[in-house]
Amino acid sequence: MKKIIIFLFTAINLFSVLFAVQEDKNFLSGCDFYKKAEYEKAIEMFKSLEKDYPTANLYYNIANSYYRLGKIGYALLYYERAKKISPFDEDIGFNIKIIYGTIEKDENERGLLANIDMGTARLLFSLSLFFFAGVISIKFLSSKKILFWPFVVSSLMVVLFSSLYFLKYRDQCETIAVVIKSDTEIRSGPNNNFKVSFTLPEGKKIIVLNKSGEWAEIVVKSMGLRGWLEMKNIEII
């Protein structure tokens, strides 16, 4: 029985090693194709790893390949996916800014707080609560007025970081997508019989509110507009 267990354990480890080797081989092949300016083949190699190894580095390389092909929508989609995993990566942030230089600037992307992810917001909120609880505990044990400013500061920290946390929680609950087709028509209802209200450029970020068959109701916060479009024109981040 022990030999069987050892054999199975060895077989699993061997399979994992072989899969890792294949993963590394595909990634390096993708890099080679990228250097040769064969971007379609590079994307094919990189995306073969997307399901099992969705890393920031992989998404970043897929985005770079799409950008070289002039597919701004798909490039932004994968840069944004990379950013969700690594929100403080300077290269990812810089390339997103380059793309936003070619389309209308999204107002929601301004400021340092836009780069803080849900986990960081939760940590900051927890630390502020811990600090506030510590100050309150000491205040009950001491009547010294020296604790006045620590109390004020800790209270402000709780208000600030609780607000940040709940904003990030709300954003996480939203379904964010990227327009992948140029001049995408936004209609007043969920089929082609409704009139076109406005159009959106490739690479525009939107929020998906509802779905009806092959159509989605969307809102563009930065423009204060909402309407319906065909699902084939967007990709969820």
DSSP codes of every residue in 24-66:
HHHHHHHHHHHHTT-HHHHHHHHHTTTTT---HHHHHHHHHHH
Helices and strands counted in the chain (H then E): 7, 7
Give every strand in the sheet of 215-220, ordered side by side.
Answer: 196-200, 184-187, 225-230, 215-220, 205-212, 175-179, 234-236
Q: Which CATH number describes the domain made up of 175-236?
A: 2.30.30.40
- Identify the band that residue 135 occupies on the pLDDT scale cut at 50, 70 and 90: confident
User: Taking the complete model, does pTM exceed 0.85, yes or no?
Assistant: no
Q: Say what the pLDDT of residue 37 is.
A: 94
pLDDT in tens, 219-233: 998 788 999 999 999
**Structural Rg of the chain based on CA atoms:** 24
Q: What is the mean pLDDT of residues 215-221?
A: 92
Residues sharing a CB contact under 8 Å with residue 81, sequence separation 6 or more, in sequence order: 54, 59, 237
**Among the CATH numbers 1.25.40.10, 3.20.20.80, 1.10.10.10, 1.20.1250.20, which is that of 2-105?**
1.25.40.10
Nearest of 223, 209, 221, 224 to residue 234 by alpha carbon: 209
